[in-house]
Chains A and B, each alone.
Chain A
Amino acid sequence: MSKNINVALIGNPNTGKTSVFNALTGLKQKVGNYPGITVEKKMGVCKLPNGVKANILDLPGTYSLNTTSLDESVVVEVLLNKNDKSYPDVAVVVCDVENLKRNLLLFTQIKDLKIPAILVINMADRMSRKGISLDVAALEEKLDTKIALVSTRKNNGVPRIKELIADYASLSADPNVDTSRISPEYFSRLQKAFPNEDLYKLWLVITQDVNFTDIEKKRIEDATSFSTKSKTELKKLQHKETVLRYQFINNTLKETYKVDLQTAKGLRASLDKILTHKIFGYVIFFAILLLIFQAIFDWSTYPMDFIDEQFAIASEWLKNTLPPGVFTDLLAEGILAGIGGVVIFIPQIAFLFLFISLLEESGYMSRVVFLMDRLMRPFGLSGKSVVPLISGTACAIPAVMATRTIENWKERLITILVTPFTTCSARLPVYLILIALVIPEGRFLGLSYQALTLMLLYLIGFGMALFSAMVLNKILKIKSRSLFMAEMPTYRLPLLKNVGYTVLEKTKSFVFGAGKIILAISIVLWFLGSNGISDDFKNAESIVTQRIEEQGLTPYSKNYIQNNLDGYSEEGKQDSIRIMTPILKERARAQEIAGYKLEHSYIGYAGKAIEPVVKPLGYDWKIGIAVLTSFAAREVFVGTLATIYSVGSDEEETIKNRMAAELDASGKKPLFNLASGISLMLFYAFAMQCMSTLAIVKRETNTWKWPLLQLLFMSVFAYLVALTAFQILN
């Protein structure tokens, strides 16, 4: 039986490398057209026509093997280390047909490493529109390789790539360029000192700024028989190498690649002029943002209400169908309520990612990155910081990883530290429920107050990230800055399939990633809320009944009964009022018992213990518990409240209604009012309520110092802002 073969998928950023990976492996990795999508190597398996399985390794995009950043060094590390289990039997170099000249630089370098290489020319569907003609046979001969002309968007040419990979043994491993021409004397000395090593490999090890674990750069530097050159001299030789390569590429393309410039000019230039204009560009971008937030609120109301009601009905159904008992209560009040707190946000999360995906797919997102670069410079960030900050609107974890494209360490550190301020999708459920509760439904210039508030929260997050970057820039004293280079991909009609995948993947990862944690926390919370050891808990029913007999129902219960009876009074149904009054009184009594038990349960005592800390912010002990549990992940906040408010409740009520009905300590006004709501939203806007982000920051900085400082700063700042907001608004 034949062994699996290793295939390295390599290419410049924006060449559709990830699309080729998806087409080969069927893995649904995110496809984007701005740098930083693949910052780590990703593996997938592809079955070849000859029955052999190929391990496809998707490597980060790089312009050449002369690396400057951590993600690019991953590529060189894989290609140089023959002992690495990922070392490729064959390299598949993906190029963009419109940028073939620049893309071939990397191809010639890989060929010179004597790795069999296949050239995949992607986006072939645009050739006729762009006036490009290509003599594939002649190009194959000149580059001494096999070529697959593909269009992953149209799903053309992928079988050809598989055939070429299967037949990789017949590929030539001869180099394209004689690298010793860079400096014949130097290369001759190098080869003499290390006769058993490959010359170009040695050259790459010497010129890289990275210390490869298994390549042993130090061994070369320590070799007594060979003296290396100074950094400046090496840089000069690197430039010479690039010139040599471009001479070879120019000669190759002169006879094989033609572009009719008249055809190539089109709508793109005119669109770019408007979309990246220093005034209109921002106006259009903010208009698009407004449209997105308006849509999130207006369009998703109906499915959200539907989901909320269905969960309330399902909870009631479970209670009526299953035998009564504590486990039934756990299912109905703990598990179902917790899951409901996640599922309800699916429509809004899906809408958000639908729009983000449309912007990415159309090529507009790269223009946004370019636009924002101007805005970032005064804050000491490079344009490359924009990608993590924009990715942060989905999740801080991949965003922090995307900072690997930033070469300068201090700049990268600042971006890592400020990225968690951008509004991630986990904050969205918290904002949405609070906005729905405390912001009125009116409109301003056709835009709802609620949508405007949401947009404001996104801008606050982004603004805070910039402000913190400016402060950190002053503290850390950055002397040098990395250059920002971004490609402007061609505008294209978004492919529904890709957009659909992104929406599905993002929603799935929200539901299943956060859902498991929320479910586990809901179970623990329900247990802690339904059990207690004190006499007050055990005798709750008799204590509350006696209190009602002596002092009557609480103002909250009276309010609850009155609200329910008001509907009957308006309709003049006196008989209904007579029948409903004792029923509602009994329900109110049951709720008071449940409330009393909750207050004297384990969770009640824990909540009361932290209440002095959260009370100045306008929160009660229940919100305090939700803030505490949501330290694991922000979205746990809503699930926690849904569980706490469901414990002991026999009512078929939605999460929003339960929260809206809660009264503050005075029993006169809603607990979730404008002051406490704004305070909570600001707290979540600034607080580092995400253990996974802390873990990833630790991994990326190799120390606990930065994540702990980040946690401390963000938590203290969030507390102070929330405190100030509540005290002013109250």
Chain B
Amino acid sequence: MDTFQQILIYITLAMAVGYLVWKFILPKSLVRGKKQASKACGQDRCGCD
């Protein structure tokens, strides 16, 4: 039973770490596919600089 619980712990831990890496470390372009940056600039080059 102890070994089984240990295995469950490591699976849960791997899932948690995986989620955090996916959420905060992996670049979004890798996760969701490369998205072209908007080139629309407003007055005073708003949003372009």
Interface residues of chain A, those whose CB is within 8 Å of chain B, are: 67-70, 73-74, 77, 209-213, 323, 325-328, 330, 404, 406-410, 412, 516-517, 519-521, 523-524, 527, 632, 691, 700-703
Give the distance in Å from the alpha carbon of A520 to the alpha carbon of B19 in the complex. Answer: 7
Query: Contacts A326-B6, A330-B9, A524-B17 known; A213 to B42 CB distance under 8 Å?
Result: no
Give the distance in Å from the alpha carbon of A524 to the alpha carbon of B19 in the complex. Answer: 11
CB-CB < 8 A to A702: which residues of B? 37, 47-49
CB-CB < 8 A to B16: which residues of A? 519-521, 523-524
CB-CB < 8 A to B37: which residues of A? 702
CB-CB < 8 A to A328: which residues of B? 5
Give A209's nearest chain B residue, CB to CB: B43
Could you say which of A68, A77, A404, A701 contacts B43, with CB atoms under 8 Å apart? A68
Query: Contacts A213-B39, A524-B20 known; A70 to B47 CB distance under 8 Å?
Result: yes
CB-CB < 8 A to B46: which residues of A? 69-70, 406-409, 412
Give the distance in Å from the alpha carbon of A179 to the alpha carbon of B19 in the complex. Answer: 55
B38 CB, nearest partner CB in chain A, Å: 8
Give B23's nearest chain A residue, CB to CB: A517
Give the distance in Å from the alpha carbon of A700 to the alpha carbon of B47 in the complex. Answer: 6
Give the distance in Å from the alpha carbon of A520 to the alpha carbon of B24 in the complex. Answer: 12
Give B28's nearest chain A residue, CB to CB: A695
**Most chain A beta carbons < 10 A, residue from B19, B37, B42:** B42
Q: State whether A409 touches B9 (Cβ < 8 A).
A: no
**Most chain B beta carbons < 10 A, residue from A211, A408, A520:** A520
B28 CB, nearest partner CB in chain A, Å: 8
Could you say which of B4, B20, B40, B49 contacts A70, with CB atoms under 8 Å apart? B40
CB-CB < 8 A to A74: which residues of B? 40
Contacts of B1-31 to chain A: CB distance below 8 A: 1-2, 4-6, 8-9, 12-13, 15-17, 19-20, 23-24
Query: Contacts A409-B44, A517-B20 known; A701 to B49 CB distance under 8 Å?
Result: yes
Q: State whether B42 touches A523 (Cβ < 8 A).
A: no
CB-CB < 8 A to A632: which residues of B? 20, 24
Give the distance in Å from the alpha carbon of A209 to the alpha carbon of B43 in the complex. Answer: 6
A462 CB, nearest partner CB in chain B, Å: 25
B34 CB, nearest partner CB in chain A, Å: 14
Query: Contacts A70-B46, A409-B44 known; A326 to B5 CB distance under 8 Å?
Result: yes
Give 12 A-B contacts (CB < 8 Å), ordered by A residue: A69-B42, A70-B42, A74-B40, A77-B40, A211-B41, A213-B39, A323-B5, A325-B1, A325-B2, A407-B43, A524-B20, A702-B48
* Any A CB within 8 A of the CB of B32: no
Give A212's nearest chain B residue, CB to CB: B40
Query: Contacts A211-B40, A212-B40, A516-B19 known; A330 to B47 CB distance under 8 Å?
Result: no
Give the distance in Å from the alpha carbon of A131 to the alpha carbon of B8 in the complex. Answer: 69
The list of the 6 closest CB pairs from A to B, nearest first, reads A327-B5, A325-B5, A523-B16, A409-B44, A409-B46, A520-B16
Q: State whether B13 touches A73 (Cβ < 8 A).
A: no
Give the distance in Å from the alpha carbon of A524 to the alpha carbon of B20 in the complex. Answer: 10
Give the distance in Å from the alpha carbon of A701 to the alpha carbon of B47 in the complex. Answer: 6
Give the distance in Å from the alpha carbon of A73 to the alpha carbon of B42 in the complex. Answer: 8
Q: State whether B40 touches A523 (Cβ < 8 A).
A: no
Decide if the interface of chain B is mainly helix, strand, loop or mixed: helix
Give A328's nearest chain B residue, CB to CB: B5
A12 CB, nearest partner CB in chain B, Å: 19
CB-CB < 8 A to A703: which residues of B? 49
Give B6's nearest chain A residue, CB to CB: A326
B31 CB, nearest partner CB in chain A, Å: 13
Give the distance in Å from the alpha carbon of A70 to the alpha carbon of B40 in the complex. Answer: 7
**Most chain B beta carbons < 10 A, residue from A68, A211, A406:** A211
Give the distance in Å from the alpha carbon of A303 to the alpha carbon of B45 in the complex. Answer: 50
Give the distance in Å from the alpha carbon of A527 to the alpha carbon of B15 in the complex. Answer: 13
CB-CB < 8 A to B38: which residues of A? 213
Q: State whether A407 touches B42 (Cβ < 8 A).
A: yes
Given contacts A323-B1, A406-B46, A408-B44, 16 further A-B contacts (CB under 8 A): A68-B43, A70-B41, A73-B40, A73-B42, A323-B5, A327-B4, A327-B5, A327-B6, A409-B47, A520-B20, A521-B16, A523-B12, A527-B13, A701-B47, A702-B48, A702-B49
Query: Contacts A326-B2, A701-B49 known; A521 to B20 CB distance under 8 Å?
Result: yes
Give the distance in Å from the alpha carbon of A146 to the alpha carbon of B38 in the complex. Answer: 35
A387 CB, nearest partner CB in chain B, Å: 16
Give B41's nearest chain A residue, CB to CB: A211
Give the distance in Å from the alpha carbon of A68 to the alpha carbon of B41 in the complex. Answer: 10
Give the distance in Å from the alpha carbon of A703 to the alpha carbon of B48 in the complex. Answer: 9
Give B44's nearest chain A residue, CB to CB: A409
Q: State whether B20 touches A409 (Cβ < 8 A).
A: no
CB-CB < 8 A to A406: which residues of B? 46
A385 CB, nearest partner CB in chain B, Å: 14
Q: State whether A691 touches B24 (Cβ < 8 A).
A: yes
B10 CB, nearest partner CB in chain A, Å: 9
Could you say which of A70, A326, A407 contacts B9, with CB atoms under 8 Å apart? A326
Give the distance in Å from the alpha carbon of A328 to the alpha carbon of B6 in the complex. Answer: 10
Could you say which of A323, A409, A524, A691 contacts B42, with CB atoms under 8 Å apart? A409
A428 CB, nearest partner CB in chain B, Å: 22
CB-CB < 8 A to B45: which residues of A? 409
B26 CB, nearest partner CB in chain A, Å: 12
Give the distance in Å from the alpha carbon of A544 to the alpha carbon of B7 in the complex. Answer: 29
CB-CB < 8 A to B17: which residues of A? 520, 524
CB-CB < 8 A to B39: which residues of A? 211, 213
CB-CB < 8 A to B19: which residues of A? 516, 520
A337 CB, nearest partner CB in chain B, Å: 14
CB-CB < 8 A to B12: which residues of A? 327, 330, 523
Q: State whether A210 touches B24 (Cβ < 8 A).
A: no
Give the distance in Å from the alpha carbon of A327 to the alpha carbon of B44 in the complex. Answer: 58
Q: State whether B42 touches A327 (Cβ < 8 A).
A: no
CB-CB < 8 A to B49: which residues of A? 409, 701-703
A330 CB, nearest partner CB in chain B, Å: 6
A675 CB, nearest partner CB in chain B, Å: 33
B6 CB, nearest partner CB in chain A, Å: 6
Give the distance in Å from the alpha carbon of A520 to the alpha carbon of B40 in the complex. Answer: 37
A407 CB, nearest partner CB in chain B, Å: 5
Give the distance in Å from the alpha carbon of A74 to the alpha carbon of B46 in the complex. Answer: 13
CB-CB < 8 A to A210: which residues of B? 40-42
B24 CB, nearest partner CB in chain A, Å: 6
B8 CB, nearest partner CB in chain A, Å: 4
Query: Contacts A326-B5, A516-B19 known; A524 to B44 CB distance under 8 Å?
Result: no
Give B45's nearest chain A residue, CB to CB: A409
Give the distance in Å from the alpha carbon of A527 to the alpha carbon of B12 in the complex. Answer: 10
Give B12's nearest chain A residue, CB to CB: A523
Give the distance in Å from the alpha carbon of A691 to the alpha carbon of B2 in the complex. Answer: 37
